Structure formats: C-alpha cells, structure tokens
Amino acid sequence: MSALPHINAGSENTRGILVLGLGNLLLTDEGVGVHAAQRLQQMQLPANVEVVDGGTGGFELIEHCRGKSKIIIIDCLSADAAPGSVIRLSLDEIDPQRPPPFSAHQGGIRELLAFIPSLTPIPEVTIYGVVPVVVDQLSMELSPTVEAQLPKIVSTVIDESRSKTAEPSA
C-alpha cells in the first residue's frame, strides 16, 4: 500500500476532525479500526471530518494529525471486558511509558500517541477500542461478535464528529 486512502480531507492544515482507523485486516478482529474507517468513508460526513484508513501505520500517521482540533482513533483493544465491548478512552488515560493496550500490529503507535501532545494546538484525542474475540487467525473477516458492534462504533463516531466543531472554543 503506497498511499493511505482518505476522504473529506479539505485543504491541507485545515482545522477539523481526523478519524483514524487502525488495524491489520489480515488478523480477524485486529482489523476492526480499518473496517470501521472503510464504512465511514462510504458515508456523507461533515466537510471538516477526514477519515483515514491508517492500516498498520504508526508514527508516520502524524502528518494526518497536524492542524486537527480533534482526533478519533478506532482500534482493537486488549482489556478486561467482554469480547466485542467498545471502550472509550482519552489520551490522558494512556500511560506513555507502557505499550498501549491496543495496536498489536505496530509499535509505532506509541510514538504517535506520545508525539500528539507536542502538536500546536494540541488536539483533543478520543480512542474507541474494541475488545477482540480473535486476533491470532488469518482472516479478513471480523468475528460475528465484533462485526455486530461495527454499526454501533460507526454511529458513535459519527455522532461525536457531528457534535464537535472544527475550531476549539475560546
């Protein structure tokens, strides 16, 4: 994959919202973020929302983060919760000294999350993590449990992106 697909990007460095779907499509539920991004890319979203299929990318995704007021990340999440659970986290809830509880596909996501607070202005970051059922089998299909949560994830991200303005309040 030579270029990361995205839509609704607008002009470079415009303030807005970035929805970043992460994951490895070849590892069943590990690809949930990419599946969500692909669904969102097929929908009519506000002009200030950019959706990026970040795949297994890491720090190199920082270019998509520059100039955004909000970043919404969707990814697989290892948590003590039922498979298929959708967990909302803020960047403040992620310990930068420990590997993130998601993104088994790429260590570079830790560097991306660590660098985001150095952007000017600092974007608000929300992470939607989905607890997987299966991540150790080669399949481009989500497990039925995670697949059933995909409409909820997409709807939640759409609602959140529509409720936020492109510019922070004064």
Q: Over the stretch 5-34, which tens digit does the pLDDT of each residue have?
A: 433 333 444 569 999 999 888 888 999 999
Q: Give exposure, 115-149, as e/b (b: 16+ Cβ within 10 Å).
A: ebeeeeeebebbbbbbbbbbbeeeeeebbebbeeb
CB 128 within 8 A of CB 87: yes
Q: Give exposure, 151-163, as e/b (b: 16+ Cβ within 10 Å).
A: eebbebbbebbee
Q: Which residue has the tokens 């697949």?
A: 147
**pLDDT tens digits, residue range 117-170?**
778 778 888 999 999 998 888 989 999 999 999 999 999 999 988 876 444 443
Domains and CATH numbers, the chain: 6-163 (3.40.50.1450)
Q: Which residue has the tokens 């506000």?
A: 46
Predicted TM-score (pTM) of this structure: 0.81
Peptide bond before residue 123 is cis, with ω within 30 degrees of 0: no
